[in-house]
Structure 1
């Protein structure tokens, strides 16, 4: 087993600002090592086929976001375990299915293509949750006693990405 030295890691706070290339938006994110997948606040989520491939159409459920509809290829569908307060016996499932798309996310000086599930997070303070899989890609150490440790990414930090 290969180990990574702490000097190669990047220290982030519990909350960071991230830039999402596909939507051209800077959002506040909560870094959550207890969640496997990252999550972005979206609404009006609709599955459809484009050239025989599965895609997802959605709008952002974020206060300052433009009322634009986005379309991205569907990477997969994730099964998210329901929390005790979210379990509905009539549904008879202990999980929720959510569409997952790949998005280019910048945090600090790093940029990675990460998987993000789409769900309405408008009742939460942070429209994005960065999960453990993405945190591994960012080579992150999360210090919960810190907030906004990383340099705020700008559109200039995204290399060779075109916006619609």
Structure 2
């Protein structure tokens, strides 16, 4: 008896199993995020239309520490922190200005924002992401998570859901690259 006719059928039956390795986590339009480095939990807006993540900060100053450029800032989140936070500067991000935000006298079509790296937990996933610092106190959510960070979370966004991942439940030994 030959098994050749069964080989294509066996391959077809195995195809659904291949998709299991690439399962994406479904998140809602809004999720709770734990900023592990800052020991703070905040509500976040997940925005596939934004490229970068943004954290609400004020009094943002760059300074030198051991020959490296660092950033000192205060969180602009309901008096979350009264003390300054200091983190190494990862890079400067150029954020496109909206039409209402453009000042023709300045001539710049972008805003330069400092970027830091933070460990963020959503659901059970702990990832290190880049976050730019800007004052978001006029917005409902102090943290906006854009598409670059969402890729790191293997996120699939369902805008009809809110807080689908529940409260952050990352363990301290979670690998941030998985």
TM-score, scaled to structure 2: 0.84
Higher helix share: 2
1:122 lines up with 2:137 in the alignment:
yes
Structure (1 or 2) with the larger CA radius of gyration: 2
The alpha-carbon distance between structure 1 residues 148 and 62, as it changes in their structure 2 partners (threshold 3 A), is same
CA distance in 1 between partners of 2:143 and 2:106 (Å): 26
Matches within 5 A, 1:108-119: 108-119=123-134
What RMSD over aligned residues (CA atoms) do the two structures have, in Å?
A: 1.6
Give the Å deviation of 1:64: 4.6
Q: Does the 8 Å CA contact 1:109/1:151 hold for their aligned counterparts?
A: no
Gaps of 5+ in 1: none
CA deviations over 1:95-150 (Å, ceiling 9, x no partner): 00000000000000000000000000000000000000010000000000110100
CA deviations over 1:60-112 (Å, ceiling 9, x no partner): 00015021210000000000000011111111100000000000000000000
What number of residue pairs does the alignment pair up?
Answer: 156
Match of 1:77 in 2: 92
TM-score, scaled to structure 1: 0.91
Alignment match of 1:99 (pick from 108, 114, 127)? 114
CA distance in 2 between partners of 1:96 and 1:110 (Å): 31
> In structure 1, the residue corresponding to 2:161 is in which secondary structure?
coil
CA deviations over 1:26-61 (Å, ceiling 9, x no partner): 000000001110000000000001000010000000
Gaps of 5+ in 2: 1-17
> In structure 1, the residue corresponding to 2:162 is in which secondary structure?
coil
Alignment match of 1:33 (pick from 24, 32, 48)? 48
> In structure 1, the residue corresponding to 2:150 is in which secondary structure?
helix
Higher relative contact order (CA 8 A, sep 6+): 1
Match of 2:66 in 1: 51
CA distance in 2 between partners of 1:21 and 1:95 (Å): 30
1:159 lines up with 2:172 in the alignment:
yes
CA distance in 1 between partners of 2:37 and 2:51 (Å): 21
> In structure 2, the residue corresponding to 1:14 is in which secondary structure?
strand
> In structure 2, the residue corresponding to 1:134 is in which secondary structure?
helix
